[in-house]
Amino acid sequence: MMKVLSVLGSPRKNSNSEVLANAAVAALPQAGLEVKTVKLNDLNFCGCQACFSCKAKSETCVVRDDLSPVLAQIPEADLVILASPIFIGELTGQAKCFIDRTFSFLMPDYTANPNPSRLSPGKKMLIILTQGVPDAAIYETSVLGNYTGFFKGLGFEVSHFIAPGQGPADDIRTKNPDLVKALTAQVSKLATN
């Protein structure tokens, strides 16, 4: 059974990034698929507290809030989808706080350890970004590069999809159906590799 955790970082309901995340899930082989979807904006949680308890006295994040059960699902997931719009040149605050809390998956000696992650190898991650700027490449290094590198350090095989030129009032399904088709084709390949 393939287990998928879909993490939605937009504060908007039915946002373009959510539509794309749902399209990605729909493109996966449905037989034996278990999907859990989390809308971060619906949760009451905080970012990393830099307490380093996950490096000194625990193998998990010691902060207890609505994000705790979400983090507990990551070790069991085969694929994690992280979908977020770009707000002011960055992922949403909700998505960033989620990412910061995944710091707990790094080993205490992560800076020197050749295997720095507590997670099992072979996990996949798909990062989906939507942005108002029409140039798809503008945030590839500054945003996507940072998070791709971090998640690779956690042992994920990371792929990404960027949907440029999307305004908050746009409906990606009607304005850019070709983007949805391109994503589903990419996910179909991801599922077979």
If we measure between CA atoms, which residue out of 158, 140, 154, 32 comes closest to residue 86? Answer: 140
> What would the mean pLDDT of 102-111 be, rounded to a whole number?
97
Residue in 119, 121, 122, 133 with CA at minimum distance from that of residue 162: 133
Q: What is the pLDDT of residues 121-159, one digit of tens each?
A: 999 999 999 999 999 999 988 899 999 999 999 999 999
User: What is the value of pTM for the model shown?
Assistant: 0.96
Q: How far apart are CA 125 and CA 128, in angstroms?
A: 10
Q: At 91, is the secondary structure helix, strand, or coil?
A: strand
26-79 pLDDT, tens per residue?
A: 999 988 999 999 999 999 999 999 999 999 999 999 999 999 999 999 999 999
- Give a yes or no: residue 2 inside a domain: no
Number of structural domains found in the chain: 1
15 near 91, Cβ under 8 Å? no
Rounded-to-integer distance, Cα 36 and Cα 58, Å: 25
CATH number of the domain where residue 123 is located:
3.40.50.360
Do the domain assignments include residue 1? no
What pLDDT score does 169 carry? 67
Single-letter amino acid code for the residue at 68: S
The parent domain of residue 180 ranges over: 8-192
